[in-house]
Structure 1
Amino acid sequence: MINFRKQTLITTTLVCLLPIVLGIFMYSDLPDQIPVHWNAAGEIDNYMSKPWAVFGLPVFFAVINIISIVAITNDPKRQNQSKWMKRMIIWLVPALSVILIPISLLVSIGIRISVPFVVTLLVSILFIVIGNYLPKSRQNYTIGIKLPWTLHDADNWNKTHRVGGVCFIVGGIILFISNLFQLGKQTGFLNFIIIISTIVLMVLVPIIYSFVLYRKDQS
């Protein structure tokens, strides 16, 4: 198990650092400022210096990856974690690194990519997948809907995660459909409102449901 953890940690960290290779290859063609953030209308609203974008961002992702894997693999209740969700969380940060950083570099040299569309598409698919596997995760301290009431009672955890799974699937489908109808700046703000509203409901509904279950059991 220790060897497996070390191998996973090393492999995923190296994947996080892969964009550095692309950055070095493109370095002479890159502008001094690299776009790293887009607003609701799909317009670039924040930049990062070339050295930081090429070298700093992959290192940042690598550090986040190390922290997340150490937390997941040292959970006292890790045996209850959904195996698929565990794999997904382990590979999520490396996937973001090899997708998002190259997109920023390509956009900086003039290649047209609708970054908000791509990101929302990926997030919607991620939500649907999470919703499918969320009910299969049992009580643990790192993966799932970790509330005082779900961690206190296994039945509350299981019921809340079934409801949360439905919320994530429905929310993911809504985001996926709304993203397909995104037509550019004219609908960018509306799409942003839909995204925020959907995510807020996805978070609040399981929390409220869990609290209601807890209060009902206390009465």
Structure 2
Amino acid sequence: MKRKTDMTLITTTLICLLPIVLALVLYNKLPNQIAIHWNYAGTPDNFAPKAIAVWGLPILMAGIHIFSYLMIQNDPKKANVSSVLKQLGKWIIPVMSLILIPVTLFKAMGYNIPIQILVPVILGVIIIIFGNYFPKCKQNYTVGIKLSWTLNSKENWNKTHHMAGYLWVIGGICIVVGSFLNMNWLLIILIVAVLVGVPIMYSYSLYKKGI
């Protein structure tokens, strides 16, 4: 039987690679070393050769995207995943590639782009979206808080994701608001640690109660 072509996978992968076109147009204007990482104050602290930024970053994003896309598509319980979260999982890497790589290139050319605000805002919005749909996400193997306790018990999964949903929305809002208040990245990391750690501890407590 002839396998049907997955046009969504092809389209999203091409979007991941699309920044290469912009990079080639700007190639002669780009410095030989390009900043690919910044600290919490927006100061670059890691650089890569121009060729790596132009070719390597988009290809890396495409590779990560293809892996995550196939994981979602081949999940035995993919029907349990919220349609919104499923689409988010398929499009999040392409959209990030389309935003972050051009930002990296323009920053290298000297444009004043507040990367210390942009990245936390994107992170916060993603967390808010996931949190909003966590309660609607049923047991699966690719999207959600996948612990041995949540995967072993539907009730544990549902209770953990219901609690985590509220927590992630609040945490995401804090990150978005904090990014405009020059929130230190250490505080953002702490918030993310809470968003991960509290649901894990809550799920474990449910497990110890026999749920």
Match in the other structure for 2:196: 203
Structure 2 unmatched ranges of 5 or more:
none
Structure 2: distance between partners of 1:48 and 1:148: 39
Confirm or deny that 1:85 pairs with 2:78: no
Alpha-carbon offset, residue 92 of structure 1: 0.6
Q: How many residues were matched structurally?
A: 209
Once the two structures are superposed, what CA deviation does each residue of 1:169-214 show, in whole Å capped at 9, x if it has no partner? 01011111211211xxxxxxx5212201111111111101100001
Q: Percent identity?
A: 45
Once the two structures are superposed, what CA deviation does each residue of 1:33-69 show, in whole Å capped at 9, x if it has no partner? 1110001222100111111101111011111111111
Alpha-carbon offset, residue 155 of structure 1: 0.5
Structure 1: distance between partners of 2:17 and 2:136: 32
Match in the other structure for 1:216: 209
Structure 2: distance between partners of 1:37 and 1:45: 6
Question: What is the root-mean-square deviation of aligned Cα atoms in Å?
Answer: 1.1
Give runs of aligned pairs for residues 1-219 of structure 1, distance below 5 A: 3=4, 6-182=6-182, 191-217=184-210
**TM-score after normalising by structure 1:** 0.93
Once the two structures are superposed, what CA deviation does each residue of 1:98-132 show, in whole Å capped at 9, x if it has no partner? 11110010001110111121000111111111110
Q: Which amino acid aligns with 1:202?
A: L
**TM-score after normalising by structure 2:** 0.96
Structure 1: distance between partners of 2:60 and 2:203: 35
Structure 2: distance between partners of 1:181 and 1:175: 10
Runs of 4+ in 1 over 2 A off after TM superposition: none
* Higher percent of residues as helix: 1
